[in-house]
Amino acid sequence: MNLQIKTPRWSLPIVDGSSARYLGAHGGRGSGKSHLFAEMLIERSIIERVDAVCVREVQKSLAQSVKKLLENKINELGVAHMFQIKEFEIRSVHGGIIIFQGLQNHTADSIKSLEGYDIAWVEEAQSVSQFSLDILRPTIRKPGSQLWFTWNPRYDTDPIESLLRGPEPPSNTIVVEVNYQDNPWFPVELHDEMEYDKRRDPDKYMHVWKGDYVRNSETRVFKNWTVQDFEAPPEAIHRLGADWGFATDPTVAVRCHIVGRKLYIDQEAYQVGCEIVDTPSLIMSIPEAEKWPMVADSARPETISHMRKNGFPKIQSAVKGAKSVEEGVEWLKSYDIIVHPRCQHTIDELTLYSYKTDRDTGSILPVLEDKDNHVIDALRYACEGARRASAQKKPKAKPIATLMPLAR
């Protein structure tokens, strides 16, 4: 039988490594990860006899399982004649079976009933307890057997995170991250929901749609921003800033302008692993970037020199000091920031940039995290001149006159 299944580009490591012991996909809503694993299970069941158990931590009814998803896929792929769909299970033409269970209902003894299964697909794996993982992994031990995991990340302390995204995952493991922008068939209806959350609730957007961990919103540095579609007025005075990348850090440039107490960000350039020789062309992707003054990270004078020689004569080094980061951030926080939707990396960093917390007490510390800040640094540099000018305009405190005692 010639079965054709469309697979997105992100799935290639999973499909190419489909014989790995551990296969996992994590990310936000609308990514299509459950659909891919459902199609993989159906394809395997058509080719050969496969016994599979689809599990989640708590399953009070089949409505909470992936059974309906598998039924829909069987019909969509036109292979209904090769399966028997029963009330509690699905059987294949080769004699294989797919069942659906809740891990919470198992004990170390009862789970032994799954020893002969070829595949255990753990859905909503972020909710699986350490005990459930500990009894499931050695149970699925048939030669060539596999454990599949799909999940929307919740906390970095969840057992599945330690198992598959920790410093020492099991050998023969393939795990990919996938989000809505990786799904070529992302539904229009979900797109509207995603855009709503992006505008109204950045923390929810990053967790639900971008697969980020649940965050304590109180640690967020910036709460003074929104996403809006706008066009810069012809009279806008553009301010540009650039932060240079290193081995794994991105090279970033942003363009903004100020109107009253509002800071508008309408363009960004962003690339990881950008060579110095390619930096001018990257920043040229911002319209008319070469015509406006630009302030750049002074840590890479050779890059600034290269930029001056290749179309950016107005570029200058940022002035750094002991408190320049903190002062620049506080200045940005004093404005209402409006970000154009196309500046996705700016949106991500404004959402993620956080203060440190005390590991023991959970208290928020007055110390900035040194991560998720490459666009933020470029934005600080872009606004450096405006910040220094505003500081100079502040009226100096008048000295208090002191009365001298009268001579007697």
- List, for residues 268-277, the tens digit of each pLDDT value: 999 999 999 9
Average pLDDT along the chain = 91
| Whole-structure pTM value | 0.61
**pLDDT one-digit tens code per residue, 328-354:** 999 999 999 999 989 999 998 998 899
DSSP state letters, 239-297: EEEEE---SSSEEEEEEEEEETTEEEEEEEEEEET--GGGHHHHHTTSTTGGGS-EEE-
Distance CA 241, CA 238 (A): 10
Q: Which residues lie below 8 Å from residue 285, measured CB to CB, with a gap of 6+? A: 269
**pLDDT one-digit tens code per residue, 216-262:** 677 889 988 988 889 999 999 999 999 999 778 999 999 999 999 99
Q: Strands 89-92 and 22-26: what pairing?
A: unpaired
What is residue 190's predicted lDDT score, i.e. its pLDDT?
93
Residue 52: strand pairing partners: 98, 119
* pLDDT of 103 higher than 60: yes
What is residue 403's predicted lDDT score, i.e. its pLDDT?
44
Q: Strands 52-56 and 119-122: what pairing?
A: parallel
Q: Which residues lie below 8 Å from residue 24, measured CB to CB, with a gap of 6+? A: 125, 148, 149, 150, 151, 164, 173, 174, 175, 176
The structure tokens listed for 306 are 């290269």
* pLDDT of 114 higher than 80: yes
Helix (H/G/I), strand (E/B), else coil: 61: coil
Distance CA 308, CA 387 (A): 24
Domain ranges of the chain: 9-182, 216-393
Closest C-alpha to 374, from 272, 233, 239:
272
What is residue 1's predicted lDDT score, i.e. its pLDDT?
60
What is residue 164's predicted lDDT score, i.e. its pLDDT?
97
* pLDDT of 43 higher than 90: yes
What is residue 220's predicted lDDT score, i.e. its pLDDT?
86
What is residue 408's predicted lDDT score, i.e. its pLDDT?
42
More confident call, 328 vs 322: 328
Q: Which residues lie below 8 Å from residue 310, measured CB to CB, with a gap of 6+? A: 280
The CATH superfamily label for domain 9-182 reads P-loop containing nucleotide triphosphate hydrolases (3.40.50.300)
**pLDDT one-digit tens code per residue, 59-90:** 888 888 999 999 999 999 999 999 999 999 99
Helix (H/G/I), strand (E/B), else coil: 402: coil
Q: Are 346 and 265 in contact (CB under 8 A)?
A: yes
* pLDDT of 129 higher than 80: yes
- pLDDT band (50, 70, 90) for residue 322: confident
Least confident of 180-184, 315-319, 362-366: 362-366
How many other CB atoms sit within 10 Å of the CB of residue 187?
A: 11
| Percent over 70 (pLDDT), the chain | 95
What is residue 386's predicted lDDT score, i.e. its pLDDT?
93
**pLDDT one-digit tens code per residue, 392-407:** 776 555 554 444 444 4
How many other CB atoms sit within 10 Å of the CB of residue 341?
A: 13
Architecture of the CATH domain 216-393 = 2-Layer Sandwich (3.30)
Listing from the earlier edge strand, what are the strands of the sheet with 294-296?
Answer: 225-227, 336-339, 262-272, 250-259, 239-243, 294-296, 315-317
Q: Which residues lie below 8 Å from residue 250, measured CB to CB, with a gap of 6+? A: 243, 270, 271, 272, 274, 345, 374
* pLDDT of 113 higher than 60: yes
How many other CB atoms sit within 10 Å of the CB of residue 131?
A: 15
Q: What is the mean pLDDT of residues 348-373?
A: 87
Q: Are 148 and 122 in contact (CB under 8 A)?
A: yes
How far is C-alpha 358 from the geometric centre of its chain's CA atoms? 24
What is residue 357's predicted lDDT score, i.e. its pLDDT?
84
Q: Are 32 and 185 in contact (CB under 8 A)?
A: yes
Q: What is the mean pLDDT of residues 23-40?
A: 96
Distance CA 22, CA 166 (A): 14
* pLDDT of 47 higher than 50: yes
